[in-house]
Amino acid sequence: MLSRFLHEFAGIESAWTAANIAETLVEQVRTQIGEGRALCALSGGVDSAVAAALVQRAIGDRLTCVFVDHGLLRSGERAQVEHDFVAATGATLVTVDASETFLGELAGVTDPEAKRKIIGREFIRSFEGAVSDVVGDSRRDDTAGIQFLVQGTLYPDVVESGGGSGTANIKSHHNVGGLPEDLTFTLVEPLRLLFKDEVRAVGRELGLPEEIVGRQPFPGPGLAIRIVGEVTPDRLDTLRRADAIAREELTAAGQDRNIWQCPVVLLADVRSVGVQGDGRTYGHPIVLRPVSSEDAMTADWTRLPYEVLERISTRITNEVPEVNRVVLDITSKPPGTIEWE
């Protein structure tokens, strides 16, 4: 009714469309970068993919996408990113394996804010290294002109990092509050004022396939903020196996489009007594956090079918020996954020 009144009776045109947004953002990027060159921080998620597609349309082959494997990815994610993004865009993609560096810097760290800031800092250091080491090797021309770094920062990232007027710092997103003060790049953040649903619409307008545009969100810091406690290779392995089972069962049950995302969290500093076979166990709990949302500013827990939850729990406790308990997080946002850390 309101839409009909505004458009049919009041004669107000719809200017805030995906096509108009995409066109405006492309022009803004062209103006900001000019004749310069840019790196795009590609994570494999919706936000960075849409940001990359926008900038590629604006400056063409003067954009190089860099995917940093920080060792905190889910099972099979690196191969999926390398295949899907290149197949969809044809963009130049360089992969940097920085897993040893990230895990070394995170050793002994348990505070979630410290984790995020370490990851944000090391991401930037990886991109700085890519200018001379990777991009310079793959393109023999002058690399000194790479002054711009493209990020898929969204408005909720800015708000939660305390970047809005009068807002508190809920948690520092690695691409906002986690950036180092001595940043040598000029940031290009074409999506900074958009919400996730608007980003998806812009991605579709740019012709990105649904496998990318419809992908569930996954945080830039990866599994580091889904391990409550210190991040270690063994804990990452445990969480990867549990996460892969949960994602496999949700897909098999046709639930991928019914949820915004389903973080799988390892309570690494918590143990509980259990019984497996005829023996006592003292294993870790895994938390399932299925949520529904439109823009990530608010969220509600998703009422998944009991039989789906049962299959996930049974498989995880049978197939991941370090885990002997699976629990369901039924907290909305607010008060709880979507990610535990």
Task: Enumerate the known binding-site residues.
Answer: 43-49
Q: Is 341 exposed, middle or buried (0-12, 13-18, 19+ CB in 10 A)?
A: buried
Q: How does DSSP classify residue 213?
A: H
At residue 326, what is the residue type? Answer: V
Residue of 97, 95, 89, 81 whose CA lies nearest to 52: 89
At residue 293, what is the residue type? Answer: S
Backbone φ and ψ of 285, nearest 5°? -85, 145
Backbone φ and ψ of 311, nearest 5°? -65, -40
Report the C-alpha gap between 337 and 333 in whole angstroms: 5
Report the C-alpha gap between 37 and 34 in whole angstroms: 8
Annotated binding site for ATP: 43-49
Element (H, E) at 283: strand 279-288
